[in-house]
Structure 1
Amino acid sequence: MLKECNKPKYLGIFQILLCKKWFSSLESNLTNIIPTRNSTCFVAIERNNIIAYILATPINKRGSCWSISEPYFIGESISYSRYNLLENLLRKILYESNINTQSFLISVNTNDNQNLSIIRQSGFQPFKIIKYWKRRDDLKYIKNEYKQNFIWERLNEENSQLIWRLEQARESINFRSIFDRQWHDIYEKRNILTGVIKCQKNNVIAGLIPSICPQYDSSLELIRGLAWDERLNQSIPQRINNFKLTKNNYYIETTSEDNKLNEIMSKSNWVTKEERVLLGRSIWKRQNGYKFKSIETELLTNLVGNLQQQPELPSTFQIKNNR
């Protein structure tokens, strides 16, 4: 099939994706032994020509949640519209693949009403709108020394747990149950640009961590604590403008609701590249022995199971004196 591909420049990409598909299939059968790490590729073929493909990638080490990419169209179909192609590819991933999970995330541009409509019809619910910021090309790198009221520290095992707690506190219970990211998932995906901002008391007040559902080669998520810290007005601009970037496609993600962070990004000469809606889907959660249980039922079971049975109290009644 690869030899007959009508797009020679995609041949190398498909060869790599095919190898990852084999490894992913092996991991799916050995999820209790080997953690799932490889992506899975699904292609749409018409008359022996690949016209579109879509990727599914595990978000965490356990493979309990996967991110789905937007479709990549490399040709035009004669019989099907792009609407039908995306609908069929999503159905293949959600219902007919060997991916051992039922929790998925996908992001769509806010202006892409057609794809957004298909994804909503497939059972995905919107969680938040993400802004993608890019540093202006004319902004030159200037190395500044930090003042004594805060420090920058690269991600390690200790501060990864601290920044993970900030992330958990700001997300809804439903969203946390879907993407199911632990602190070691943040630590394992660290790079030279990830880290945390600490105050003098060694408390983490903000940080740059790997994106949950990255859309670009280099994309980091900027998060902070629930309470606004005025020191961030100075520490964040110094940090994000202190990077000596080797790539032009480096982006920082913020939520559209966080007006404080968005204002700082704008004043720091960063511009919004695009806005995307992050959607999630999780109807069932797979248990051992291939049994299924709804997330709501599991949460209720855990809650009730932690309650200890109280001893029966004697009933009270009034004794009247018989005269």
Structure 2
Amino acid sequence: MSVFLLRRFATFVLTLLVASVVVFAVLELLPGNAAEVILGDTATPESLAALNAKLGLDRPPLARYADWMGGLARGETANSISYDTPTAELIAERLRVTLPLALLAMALTTVLALGLGVYAAARHNKLGDVGVMAASQIGIAIPNFWFAILLILLFAVQLQWVSAGGFPGWTEDDGGGLWEGLKALVLPAVALALVQAAILARVTRSAVLEVMREDFVRTARAKGLSRRQALWRHVLRNAMIPVLTVMGLQFANLITGTIVVENVFVLPGVGRLIFQAISNRDLVVVRDVVMLLAAVVVIVNFIVDVLYALIDPRLRHA
């Protein structure tokens, strides 16, 4: 098990290094720079040169990459060009919205997908199975931003149960509270969870059906277990490996998918932050946020690999 974890951790570190090189190189290849955006078209060459020197944009790319990676290793980040605040503080503040939103959407996705997937597999080729598959196909076809607009029209405009957008905060000092904050995240979480739940339900159904055909399931039934008992005690656990793979990818997609949904609901999260940073040509923020998203994907995949080994002992021995 220790060798397995060591190999996965080495892959984790190497992937992050490669991702950092790709992120930095892509942003370097973009035309223009932040100094030109800040000073505008009427800026003189002297003022552009002075601002480039102040922002460190006149230094060689390799030196700037080394400074960036060295700062991340020490837990330090550069100041945002637009906000003149360390990007770590900006991202931490916005994660107070994005992370709960992604966790809530993932919880909704898991409950809906596992329940519907197992239900459809248990009623294979029956009306319940056909209904779930048809609903999941519609869910996959609907873009989450369009579904978000429909939710706003129904629950905010017509029924007026929730506000159409904005975030009141988690504390009363911010003008909100725990319940008010959760209410503001319900519709965005549902919009994010729709497509992911539809995909995961189909994967769960396929995995459960495949395991149900195995010999050990027939043996469990022959020993007297009912279909329901065999399904929940034996089938579901063995079907979880492909399901966990998709769940890991989906959580990363939920984090990155907030960019569009947060702008629809005007939520002050990481997605809205990166959108504003791109508009302001604040590449310092863009670089750190994209690196954070890449790290989330890699970390989630690492956790999924560890869960594989816990679920299936054959992987540990291999």
- Give the alignment's TM-score, normalised by structure 2: 0.25
- Give the alignment's TM-score, normalised by structure 1: 0.25
- The structure with higher relative contact order (CA 8 Å, sep 6+) is 2
Q: Report the structure, 1 or 2, having the larger strand content.
A: 1
